[in-house]
Amino acid sequence: MVTGASRGIGRGIAEAFVAHGARVMISSRRGASLARVAEEIGGDGVAWFEANAGDAEAARACVETTVERFGSVDILVNNAATNPYFGPMIDIDVPRAMKTVGVNVVGPLIWTQSAWRCGMRETGGSVINVSSVGGYTVDPGIGFYNVTKAALLHVTRQLAAELGPGVRVNALAPGLVKTDMSRALWEGEGREEEIAARLPLQRLGSVGDIASATVFLASDQSAWITGHTIVVDGGSLVDGVIAHGRDQGPPP
The domain segmentation of the chain, as residue ranges, is: 2-232
> What's the whole-number mean pLDDT along residues 189-211?
90
User: Global pTM?
Assistant: 0.93
Superfamily for the 2-232 domain? NAD(P)-binding Rossmann-like Domain (3.40.50.720)
Q: Residue 231 corresponds to which amino acid?
A: V
Query: Do 4 and 62 touch, CB atoms closer than 8 A?
Result: no
Half-sphere exposure of 31 (CA within 13 A, CB side): 4
pLDDT score at 184: 66
SS3 breakdown of the chain: % helix, strand, coil, rounded to 5?
50, 15, 35
Does the active-site annotation cover 136? Answer: no
pLDDT tens column, 53-83? 999 999 999 999 999 999 999 999 999 999 9
Find the catalytic residue in 145, 176, 178, 179. 145
* Structure-model confidence comparison of residues 56 and 245, the more confident one: 56
